[in-house]
């Protein structure tokens, strides 16, 4: 098990602007400050993993090839600003499918742990929905609910450890937590 700590981040509504089943790579739009925030994580040698439910595949809105094009665009936008992610994990299933990867279930995190050998209980989970918070709690991670994307709908009654305006605000707290 690596001593390196990881930050698990939701995609839609947290990293990129929520588009309701984003299916066009040209519509990938990072929130302001996201690349700089991820770059700060990179400089702290914190691993960065994206975990994203993509039920648009199960619903027939787009296919895996199209999703790969979207992720290629996401990687390019981050790279253009000197930011990198260590891995991106998807759940392509619908809400009624019987899978173990759809948030808040831990399947995507389990796969990330298998690939990157980190302790999820030492990780941080950031997202804009309560399922992101629930996933973080399920694996023992510190949790952040951002007020971007769908976040404002979940602030009242959230079980998140922290409610913050955006990804950059979450990273500032993480920096203090790891002694940066």
Residue numbers annotated as active site: 10, 12
Each as own residue / partner, the long-range contacts of residues 27-32 (CB below 8 Å, 24 or more positions apart, any chain) are: 28/70, 28/73, 28/74, 28/77, 30/77, 30/78, 31/148, 31/166, 31/167
Q: How far is the CA of 104 from the CAs of 55, 66, 72, 129, 134, in angstroms?
A: 14, 24, 25, 10, 5
Give the DSSP letter string of 90-122.
Answer: EE---TTS--S-STTSSHHHHHHHHHH---GGG
Beta bridge partners of 62: none
| Nearest Cα to Cα of residue 112 among 124, 94, 98 | 124
Count of CA atoms in the C-beta half-sphere (13 A) of 122: 13
Q: How far is the CA of 165 from the CAs of 88, 155, 162, in angstroms?
A: 23, 11, 10
């Amino acid at each position: 098990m690596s001593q390196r700590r990881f930050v698990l981040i939701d995609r839609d509504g947290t990293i990129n602007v929520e588009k309701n089943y984003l299916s066009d790579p040209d519509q990938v739009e990072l929130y302001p400050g996201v690349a700089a925030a991820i770059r700060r994580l990179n400089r702290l040698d914190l691993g960065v993993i994206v975990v994203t439910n993509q039920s648009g595949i199960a619903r027939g809105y787009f296919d895996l090839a199209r999703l790969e094009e979207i992720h290629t665009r996401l990687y390019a936008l981050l790279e253009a600003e000197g930011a990198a992610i260590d891995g991106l994990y998807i759940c392509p299933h619908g809400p009624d499918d019987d899978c173990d990867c759809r948030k808040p279930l831990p399947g995507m995190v389990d796969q990330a742990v298998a690939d990157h050998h980190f302790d999820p209980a030492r990780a941080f989970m950031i997202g804009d929905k309560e399922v992101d918070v629930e996933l973080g709690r399920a694996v023992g991670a510190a949790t952040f609910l951002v007020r971007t994307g769908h976040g404002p709908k979940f602030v009242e009654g959230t079980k998140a450890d922290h409610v913050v305006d955006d990804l950059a605000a979450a990273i500032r707290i993480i920096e203090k937590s790891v002694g940066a």
